Structure 1
Amino acid sequence: MNRVCLVDGVDIFRRYGAKVKRNGYVDLLTFPPLVTPDSTSWPEEDGVEVDLMDPKLDVKEVSISFVADDANGLVNFLCQPGYHVWSIGLGREWRLRISSQSNNQLIDTTSIFTLKFIDDFPTRAEDYISAPGCGIVIPKCDYEMDGLSWRDYGIIVKKGTRDEVLKSSAVKQNLSQKIQTKDGQFYDVEQVVFEAKDVTFNLYMCADSIDRFWQCYDAFFNDLIKPEERILYVGYTDEEYPCYYKKSSNFEILSLSDKVMIGFSLTLVFTSFRVDETEYILASEDDERIVDEEDGETCIDLGIDYD
């Protein structure tokens, strides 16, 4: 579906015969990346110690793809000094400045091209409700962030993410010494500690309307970038992982009618991660842990002989 695109209130189709290509505007939806925070990697400890007292957002690059009869006219218009306000019928506006033209193809008299813009104004929602619900039924989710299920943000986790979570971090480099007169090297093998690791989650965000989608979008992103580390609970490992938001990518609009469905990738940094021995605990058919009746907390370890 072709959406009406207004730039500074100008309909670019009426003036320049220009349309934004299908899914050619999805970069507008990308969450701004986080400015890389200061961190310290202690050689004797797993992971990193990260300063997240006041995390800051970086600028965002936005690529928009067009089909136009008067490409030169459109580019000249967008190259006028100042920021330009974009509206594409999604219930939001963006202020962008042009950066470059990444490609241009001429077919007969029609130009197909992509322009890159910079969003210098990453936004934080000042007033939002955490985990507001999306208005549609979402499958059970194995992930909770700071005690809130991701499905309460309308999030569905695609298959394949489990492997990313379970994969071990790289081992930190210990002290080593090379001697020119000897083969190989001397290496300190007295301890093994692990680096932090990036984990990329492939997700869908769903909602029953575009207004509800923006509520979920704002809530999820702003909960991700709150000060200090996030605590991500993963149901299939029954473990909690300290982490922080790094970036998002690969946004794709799958549906804007009946319900809204957006696909994207989210990268978190696990600041401390170690693969422990697998523990098997007793659970019910609906994947709920069965706990001791006396304290209501202790799980029943199937690896222990209770007789």
Structure 2
Amino acid sequence: MTGPLTVRAAAKINLLLGVGAPRPDGFHTLVTVYQAVSLYDDLVVEAPADLSVETEVAHYIDASHLPAAGDNIVDRAAAALAAHHGRPAGAQVRIDKSIPIAGGLAGGSADGAAALVALDRLHGFGTSDDDLLALAAGLGSDVPFALVGGTALGEGHGELVTPVPDTGTWWWVVVPAADGMSTPAVYRHYDELCPDAPAVPDPPDPLLAALGSGDPRQLAAALHNDLEQAAFDLRPDLAALVTEGVAAGALRGLVSGSGPTCVFLCESAEHARSVAGTLRTARDERVVLVAHGPVAGAHVVDA
């Protein structure tokens, strides 16, 4: 087909992030529970051709943080598909970006997943789900989840993804920070704070039970992030923001992943809008978004 074809992919938050001790290869074994939430990037492709990528950003996103031309994850996704099938996978690509950049919400990973789905469909490759997941893992640890969506257990570096039952609808206030954080710096500080961390984190049984309950208060009590204290030490403003969000009425606030985005669980859509309004009023320049989850992984929305 020649397109245009639109594929939508969602942001992710971490409901739980357990971090093991550093391994000889320098990586950490993770046990995480991802949830895809209703903040989206749309990727539009058409006219198979030499690959070109342009990005349009929402008003609250600083375009200066975008990757340089030719260094986008979409370029790497196209190259991976082309190598897998032995023929070009180019297209004219436009990214309509609403997921904040460098905030721990996996917006880049969402774009990579969307590119795999869109270019596969545009070129009629018919790549199997297993092969798409393998290609996604080669692009980054969060890309397989961006394909799968919903709520899922992530293991290994986070790239081994298993969907988990989740029939609830969970409402979140999402507050990205204006300044990003260095993920390696957060992990290094975690290692300093937790020299006796286990090789493999505990299984997320309480969190999974809370999801099964459908009770937002039970889920709030089970949310956990091993990296949160390290992030707070490096960025005390994040600790202050979490305190502020809870004071505004959120059931629970925490840093998502390695930060710096903070997320706040609320009881309902109305409750989330109320908490968001309070946080916006406190600081006019602050970006405060409302989202719900779980939502679908990368999928075609317009053929």
Scaled by the length of structure 1, the TM-score of the pair is 0.22
Choose between structure 1 and 2: higher strand proportion. Answer: 1
Choose between structure 1 and 2: higher helix proportion. Answer: 2
Higher relative contact order (CA 8 A, sep 6+): 2
Scaled by the length of structure 2, the TM-score of the pair is 0.22
Which has more radius of gyration? Answer: 1
